A and B are shown apart, each in its own frame.
Chain A
């Protein structure tokens, strides 16, 4: 018995040796440069983009013949756990896709990611609110290269607007008029899935960011010069109640997916949402003609031009335990180039975080041009997801209560302030 085990082990060991001996010689046969062939493992939660990423990394592999990129995608909802386990163990990814802002901090605090300042070129070209999504809150170091930017705006159905003789509104009065006309014509003016709380802070920012002052307010609130009980912030939340009549009755019973169907099937004329909807709308309704605009300035707005709130979505980092640090940084440097940015736009239909990218898609082009004209941070996600309770979660539930008539704007703002002040100290 023992003898047989020994023989088997010997055979296995022998074949393993043979195989490993074969690998490099096969690679060099392809005309690779001198030195070892290195395989970098890249992990992501974008299971829907595997093919696109393989195309993208083919471009990289052509330029870097000694590196092979192995792209693996995992279920989005389970990714955080899989990544945490992978980074803790020895066979994790070399270059993992990581979350942004507050959700990135546990990996940084656990020392699982390499700081990249000074090792990756082009980081200073990236918008500050976007690169902030890749920084450690405690030490201020940059740990990743941002992948995409999501912009928030109002989408509208062009056919419905034409049918009712409506134009994209330029003033708040025009905005109200558009909604009134649609309401009178029996079309739901805006589709919103208020049953899913996460969409509501997005809605509040699309409607009210310019009212409370976008980045100006961000600076003040971070410095402690004001807080969320500020009259301007409360007024921005009041706008949410003010436009409630343009949403489906019983809006709190409507789920996010229902609201997407409302818009793509032409039952609703407008959809307040993120740029991530563009690809979904294209898939669900290829014939749908739609565009987007920034909600015009309401009375008393702090800003003097409308804005698109935005945030960074996804980053690429380097695993501290990776045994191929040099190659991993080579890849990361490439991920920070406009070449990769353009591939993100063309292959993934996303807004790249890297400036200087051209968008083919008309809707994307329009939304990006709007964003470049007036930028703002999606405040609660960008700055207030670093502790518990998350700013977005508190406001989501509070807006639901506002829609249900259980609370008002002032009380909702006070709850938001109470929640975040539990972990947030201004000026830190």
Chain B
């Protein structure tokens, strides 16, 4: 056996065979950096700076420090609306997580097992995801209308008349309609992602465990689930961002005020109302403060979920 010399590669650097000076490297990075600065960094920083000023229409007044943020927690309607909307965003996230990691994962596993019609069902489950959420929300609001909607008519038709109710008119049910409709629309997304991840798990491991006498559930717990963790992490972060920024479905179902009586209000609706409908002369200041808070929260928690998932993965493998 001849000796094979492996080139020593310093940890942390990738050998590509191309040597670039730092300056030349910068030149290649520059176009992307310029685009990023103009279209992402600049608007973000402007919104941040706007939130520290007092505004009169679109004329910027004096620097007011964190007063706009204090307003959000001390003055009506924000004092009441902000926690109310925020809790609804969290409900949306929890609801979506529950649906995606039970029904979504279950469907993906089932689809992975069956060979036939796999593509067909994948497409079917993904279809609602391809329709605009505004349209989805509008369709559901028609279906649930207490006057003309088919949902209550069907319930009455099959003798379940007691269950028929003003789904979107009752604050107790309205928010759950938003949660379920959102989850319903997005169910195709985990089916696709988990499907791809399941396809990436080597069959041999599963077979070996099976020969060793592991039951189907044991194999799922000990092999499939841990190997799916990276996918679950990705789905969680994206779901979190989606839930925190939810706008079109709540808007279509409950209008910009989060009707009835704020029962379907979410953070983006609060932002929308403040920025575009309040008619307040300081609309820019207050709405920028909401936007900044929302961004910081989404950014922070997303980082946290990512960090947590990475740590769990490292422990497993």
Contacts and interface: CB of A to CB of B under 8 A. Distances in A.
B170 A252 contact: yes
A104 B291 CA distance: 25
Nearest to B172: A404
A80 B276 contact: yes
A254 interface: yes
B146 A254 contact: yes
Contacts of B255: 195-197
Q: Tell me whether chain A's interface is mostly helix, strand or loop, or mixed.
A: helix
Given A397-B257, A397-B262, A251 B57 contact: no
B266 interface: no
B279 A248 contact: no
B278 A388 contact: yes
Contacts of B169: 194-195, 250-254, 404
A186 to B, nearest CB: 15
Interface string A248-292: 111111110010011000010000000000000000000000000
Nearest to A421: B76
A142 interface: no
Given A250-B169, A406-B261, A262 B147 contact: yes
A387 interface: yes
Contacts of A250: 146, 165-166, 169-170
Interface stretch (A106-114, A210-218, A336-344): A106-114
Given A106-B279, A258-B147, A385-B279, A112 B167 contact: no
B78 to A, nearest CB: 8
Contact of A248 (B77, B141, B147): B147
B224 interface: no
Given A107-B57, A422-B75, A81 B145 contact: no
Contacts of B75: 388, 422
B217 interface: no
A80 B283 CA distance: 12
Contacts of A398: 261
Contact of A253 (B57, B170, B261): B170
B77 A393 contact: yes
Contacts of B281: 105-106, 109-110
Contacts of B171: 404, 406
Interface in A160-218: 194-198
A103 B57 contact: no
Nearest to B164: A250
Given A390-B279, A396-B257, A419 B76 contact: yes
A418 interface: yes
A253 B168 contact: yes
B148 interface: yes
A88 B262 contact: no
A261 B149 CA distance: 13
Contacts of A141: none
B280 A388 contact: yes
Interface in B24-60: 56-59
Nearest to A250: B166
A389 B145 contact: no
Contacts of A404: 169-171, 260-261
B147 A387 contact: no
A77 B261 CA distance: 22
A197 B57 contact: no
B259 interface: yes
Interface residues of A, number: 50
B279 A103 contact: yes
Q: Which of A112, A194, A258, A406 has the most CB of B within 10 A?
A: A258
Q: Tell me whether chain B's interface is mostly helix, strand or loop, or mixed.
A: loop
Given A250-B165, A254-B146, A406-B261, A106 B283 contact: yes
A321 interface: no
Nearest to B57: A110
Interface residues of B, number: 33
B138 to A, nearest CB: 10
A152 B252 CA distance: 27
Contacts of A107: 57
Interface string A348-390: 0000000000000000000000000000000000000101111
Contact of A110 (B59, B166, B262, B279): B59
Interface string B213-236: 000000000000000000000000
Contacts of A196: 255, 259
Contacts of B167: 253
A394 B280 CA distance: 15
A307 to B, nearest CB: 26
Given A194-B169, A422-B76, A88 B58 contact: yes
A401 B57 contact: no
Interface in B110-143: 141
A388 B169 CA distance: 25
Contact of B57 (A109, A254, A267, A394): A109
Contacts of A253: 144-146, 165-170, 260
A99 B279 CA distance: 10
A400 B56 contact: no
Contacts of A314: none
Contacts of B278: 388, 390
B145 to A, nearest CB: 6
Contacts of A249: 146
A158 to B, nearest CB: 23
Interface in B146-180: 146-148, 165-171
A296 interface: no
A28 interface: no
A84 B147 contact: no
B145 A255 contact: yes
Nearest to B280: A388
A385 B145 CA distance: 31
A146 interface: no
A92 interface: no
Given A253-B145, A253-B168, A109 B76 contact: no
B276 A112 contact: no
A102 interface: yes
7 contacts: A88-B58, A103-B279, A107-B57, A110-B57, A254-B146, A255-B145, A388-B76
Given A390-B279, A400-B260, 6 more contacts: A110-B58, A195-B168, A253-B167, A253-B168, A254-B169, A388-B280
Interface of A: 77, 80-81, 84-85, 88, 99, 102-103, 105-107, 109-112, 194-198, 248-255, 258, 261-262, 267, 385, 387-390, 393-394, 396-398, 400-401, 404, 406, 418-419, 422
Q: Nearest 3 CB-CB pairs, A to B?
A: A253-B169, A253-B166, A110-B57
